[in-house]
Amino acid sequence: MILSTLRLRNFPEDEADKFPWTLPIVKNLEELRFEKNISFFVGENGSGKSTILEAIAAYTEVPLAGSLRLEDDESLAASNRLADYLSLRFAEKTHHGFFVRAEDFIGFSRHIKQQIRELDQEIEELKISLDGKGDLDRAVGAIRGERDSFIKRYSKDLEAMSHGEGFMKFFTSRITGKGLYLIDEPEAALSPTRQLSLLALILEKVKTTGAHFIIATHSPIIMSVPDSEVFYFQDGTISKVDYKETEHYMLTKSILDAPERVMKELG
DSSP-H helix ranges across the chain = 24-27, 49-60, 77-83, 104-129, 136-154, 163-174, 192-209, 220-223, 247-257, 259-266
Length of the chain: 267
Residue 260 pLDDT greater than 60, yes or no: yes
Name the average pLDDT for the chain.
84
Report whether 37 contacts 211 (CB < 8 A): yes
Which pLDDT belongs to residue 239? 96
Q: Given CA atoms 72, 38, 94, 208 in this order, what sign does their dihedral have?
A: negative
Which pLDDT belongs to residue 160? 47
Which pLDDT belongs to residue 92? 85
pLDDT single digits (tens) 55-66: 999 999 888 876
Distance CA 51, CA 39 (A): 16
Q: Tell me, yes or no, if the pTM score tops 0.95.
A: no
* Span 225-240, average pLDDT: 95
Residue 30 pLDDT greater than 60, yes or no: yes
Which pLDDT belongs to residue 117? 73
pLDDT single digits (tens) 97-140: 999 987 766 566 666 666 667 777 777 776 767 665 556 666 66
What percentage of the chain reaches a pLDDT higher than 70? 78
